[in-house]
């Protein structure tokens, strides 16, 4: 049995799909960025020798985690594409690339290239096409933007587990083309109208600020964050980038200008990512401070 530790977005859950296609038995943890340190701290306390391989995809790790990974008695493989993670190329078990073949890559693609050399069944055209859809969406560099956005929309509608089952079943057919079903096309068309209304509502609530000497738009949103950031950053070119607060998860940064690097901005706040799409974590302490600022008298009764 193998163990996979990965992110929760489309680029994070697609490695789960790929492992299902190999027919190997495996367990996995899909986690938020701010859960990385705690997750590995707990994993290092367990008996990892029960696993044949440890795969880590689409997560930026700290030096302290790498030091412990290097001592594990099982093979470890790390696959990631964030510029803030390039320091890890000194570890022989880490495959870190921001670009490949003159274009941006993603964790799923790096993992796929590794797996397909071991499992020929992954070389089907439809699987390669699905992997590239994931890459386009995660790097926001599109060849077929609507298809990529619709795939992620389906993920949101179905939820992680049902989406994984649906895509695995489809890709096991080894067809030559990855396409949406007629039902999925109808559903995404209806959802697209709802998304347009959502973006328009959020635009009305956006405020413009200057933060760290950079003009930016700030909006609070819980969904469609990439689309919202893209929509607002193009509509307001006078802004360097858009900051999207999701207090339940994280803060997202989106831009489209070639001379903008939101990854560098995110690093100032313990985050990171890509030049035009990055994020930083929101701590429990930050959430508590929001409560205290509003209610004043706040006492935590239970700590899970």
Cβ-contact 111, 18 below 8 angstroms: yes
| Edge-to-edge strands, sheet with 2-7 | 26-31, 2-7, 54-57, 76-80, 94-96
Counting beta carbons within 10 angstroms of the beta carbon of residue 274, is it exposed (0 to 12), middle (13 to 18) or buried (19 or more)? buried
**What number is the average pLDDT over the span 45-54?**
94
* Range 286-290, long-range pairs (CB < 8 A, 24+ positions): 287/247, 290/247
pLDDT band at 269; cut points 50, 70, 90: confident
pLDDT tens digits for range 282-303 = 888 888 888 888 887 777 776 5
pLDDT for position 296: 78
pLDDT value at 193 more than 60: yes
Residue 88 in this model has a pLDDT that exceeds 90: yes
Supply 248's token pair. 């339940």
pLDDT over threshold 80, residue 8? yes
Mean pLDDT of 74-98: 94
Mean pLDDT of 92-121: 94
User: What number is the average pLDDT over the span 105-116?
Assistant: 96
Q: What residue ranges define each of the domains in the chain, with the CATH number in brackets?
A: 2-180 (3.90.1640), 205-289 (3.10.310)
pLDDT at 94: 96
- Asked if 50 and 38 touch (Cβ cutoff 8 Å), the reply is no
The answer to whether 22 touches 111, Cβ cutoff 8 Å, is no
pTM: 0.82
Identify the band that residue 276 occupies on the pLDDT scale cut at 50, 70 and 90.
confident
Banded pLDDT at 16 (limits 50, 70, 90): very high
Mean pLDDT of the residues in the chain: 90
Q: What percent of the chain has pLDDT over 90?
A: 58
pLDDT of residue 9: 92
User: pLDDT per residue over 123-158, tens digit each?
Assistant: 989 999 999 999 999 988 888 888 998 999 899 889
- How big is the chain by its Cα radius of gyration, in Å? 20
Average pLDDT over residues 62-88: 94
Confidence bin at 29 (pLDDT 50/70/90):
very high
How confident is the model at residue 127, as a pLDDT?
Answer: 95
């Amino acid at each position: 049995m193998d163990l996979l530790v990965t992110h929760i977005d489309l680029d994070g859950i697609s490695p789960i799909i790929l492992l299902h296609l190999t027919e190997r038995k495996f367990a996995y943890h899909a986690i938020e960025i701010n859960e990385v340190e705690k997750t590995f701290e707990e994993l290092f306390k367990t008996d990892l020798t029960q696993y044949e391989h440890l795969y880590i995809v689409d997560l930026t790790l700290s030096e302290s985690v790498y030091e412990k990974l290097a001592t594990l008695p099982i093979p470890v493989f790390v696959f990631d594409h964030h510029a803030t993670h390039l320091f890890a190329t000194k570890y022989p078990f880490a495959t870190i690339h921001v670009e490949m073949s003159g274009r941006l890559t993603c964790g799923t693609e790096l993992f796929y290239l590794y797996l397909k050399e071991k499992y020929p069944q992954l070389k089907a055209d439809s699987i390669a096409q699905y992997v590239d859809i994931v890459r386009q969406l995660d790097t926001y560099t599109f060849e077929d933007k609507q298809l990529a956005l619709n795939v992620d929309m389906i993920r949101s509608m179905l939820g992680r587990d049902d989406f994984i089952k649906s895509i695995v079943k489809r890709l096991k057919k080894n067809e030559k083309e990855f396409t949406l079903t007629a039902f999925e096309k109808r559903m995404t068309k209806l959802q697209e109208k709802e998304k347009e209304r959502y973006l328009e509502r959020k635009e009305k609530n956006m405020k413009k600020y200057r933060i760290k000497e950079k003009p930016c738009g700030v909006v609070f949103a819980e969904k469609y964050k990439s689309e919202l950031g893209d929509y607002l950053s193009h509509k307001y070119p006078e802004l360097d980038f858009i900051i999207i607060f999701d207090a339940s998860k994280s803060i997202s940064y989106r831009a489209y200008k070639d001379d903008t690097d939101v990854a560098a901005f995110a690093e100032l706040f313990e985050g990171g990512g890509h030049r035009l799409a990055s994020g930083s974590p929101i701590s429990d302490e930050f959430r508590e401070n929001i409560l205290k600022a509003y209610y004043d008298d706040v006492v935590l009764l239970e700590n899970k």
